[in-house]
Structure 1
Amino acid sequence: MGVKLIRIAAVYFVLGVLLGMYMSISHSYDYASVHAHVNLLGWASLALAGVIYHLFPAAGESTVGKVHFWLHNIGLPVMMIGLALLMSGVESVEPVIAVGGVLVTLGILAFLYNVLIHVKSSTK
């Protein structure tokens, strides 16, 4: 899971940078919240989780590591697309954002559990 998370984090990084470039060029910052969430929950969080899973293979290879990966990577695009639509004026999309946010939150809670259970010091 470590390498997969690092790779998907790099995709989110590019998406965040491209969205930032678009906002800068157009002088329209309506999607700043999407940009911030993609960079924080996509690029930074997933890259750090990937490094942790790589350094602690028991965490990365665990079932809960896979659950974290899928919940986070299904929820985040759902939440970001919904948030972009909301910022475009589609108010009826709020429940979609909530579903995506709940999935991401559950994924992050799975990550926490995984770290507490599988990330252990190599010194005794």
Structure 2
Amino acid sequence: MARIDIWFLLLATLCLTTGVSLGIVMGIRHDFALAPVHAHTNLVGWASLALFGLTYRAWPGLREGWSARLHFVLSAPAAVLFPAGIYLAILHGEPLLAILASFLWLGGVLTFLGKLVRLARTATEEATEAAPAPALPMPAE
């Protein structure tokens, strides 16, 4: 999946926007009953997905193979469904979606762990080094 880094970062930013918006609404209303939804949207959605994306960006070799696509297919819906499931559990007493999404999330995390373990076992040091950062354009004087 050639652009997996961008897809993870795009979804992470959408989760950040949702989490921040929910936080603002809770603050305006002085009602923090959905604080766990807000926290999981920001932690699972923003922080974790962004770290996945940045890791794929830094080590392009991780993008290769079917497991990168599997990682995204498991993690992307889980990052959206997990906070939604927490919402349903808090307001309607229905935790099933949160439970299912947490297992989906675990599957994505374990897939990522497997990719990192394979990278760590790579025989050559060059293969495990991070890609060089792209040069930033210098402003014209």
| Fold equivalence (TM over 0.5) | yes
Note the residue ranges of structure 2 that are not aligned, 5 or more in a row: 121-126, 131-141
Q: Secondary structure at the match of 2:95?
A: helix
Could you tell me how far 1:114 is from its partner in structure 2? 1.0
Q: Tell me which residue corresponds to 2:29.
A: 26
What percentage of aligned pairs have identical amino acids?
30
Q: 2:57 aligns with which of 37, 54, 57?
A: 54
Note the residue ranges of structure 1 that are not aligned, 5 or more in a row: none
Q: Is the 8 A contact 2:82 2:98 kept in 1?
A: yes
Q: Tell me which residue corresponds to 2:46.
A: 43
> Aligned residues, how many?
121
* TM-score, normalising length: structure 2: 0.80
* TM-score, normalising length: structure 1: 0.90
Paired letter, 1:34: V
Structure of greater Rg: 2
Paired letter, 1:106: G
Question: Whose helix fraction is larger, Structure 1's or Structure 2's?
Answer: 1
Q: 1:78 aligns with which of 81, 90, 105?
A: 81
Q: Is the 8 A contact 2:8 2:50 kept in 1?
A: yes
Q: Give the direction of change, closer, same or farther, for the CA distance of 1:63–1:30 in structure 2 (3 Å limit).
A: same
Aligned-partner Cα distance in 1 for 2:57–2:119:
12
